[in-house]
Amino acid sequence: MLYRKRMVCRVQDGRIRFVCPNCRKKSSIVVRPDEKRRSVTCKNCNQKCECELNRRRTIRERQSGKAQLRIVANQLMIIHLQDVSCDGVGFTVLHGQGRKLRVGQELQGIVCDWNPQFSRHKLVVQNISGDKIGVKFCRYGV
């Protein structure tokens, strides 16, 4: 009788890549967005595992892609995130759109599917170089 093993699995695109700790058989398992744990039984050797689902790293690693910049409450601009750090974000805007922004301007947040936390942070424009924009998070509110 195999005892139940505990492990941490990373969630990527709504799935975990489960590798059986007993027989090393790999399988891809769909998980619900709100799921925190999942019991998995290996189809090959019947090993039972209690998987803790880790989403945090996935969010941190995804640093580029299409998002929307909230300039004021009802004005959005399409942006392409280039790099995300703990205190700021770099992105590009569609050609010519950079002119709508100015250094020191306060922005309401970034609307981003894969990282909803962005929308809760106000931002300040740090630098503008043509279509490349750098912004900093306002940590303490303004």
Closer to Zn ion at the Cβ: 1 or 72?
1
CA 132 – CA 87 distance, rounded (Å)? 17
| Locus of tokens 């019991």 | 39
45 is a site residue for Zn ion (CB under 5 A): yes
**Stretches 20-28, 61-69, 77-85, 115-123: which one binds Zn ion (CB under 5 A)?**
20-28
**Stretches 4-12, 27-35, 38-46, 48-56: which one binds Zn ion (CB under 5 A)?**
38-46
For 17-73, give the DSSP string.
Answer: EEE-TTT--EEEEE--TT--EEEEE-TTT--EEEEEEE-HHHHHH---EEEEEEEET
CA 21 – CA 38 distance, rounded (Å)? 15
49 is a site residue for Zn ion (CB under 5 A): no
**Stretches 34-42, 78-86, 105-113, 127-135: which one binds Zn ion (CB under 5 A)?**
34-42
Per CB under 5 A, residues contacting Zn ion are 20, 22-23, 25, 42, 44-45, 47
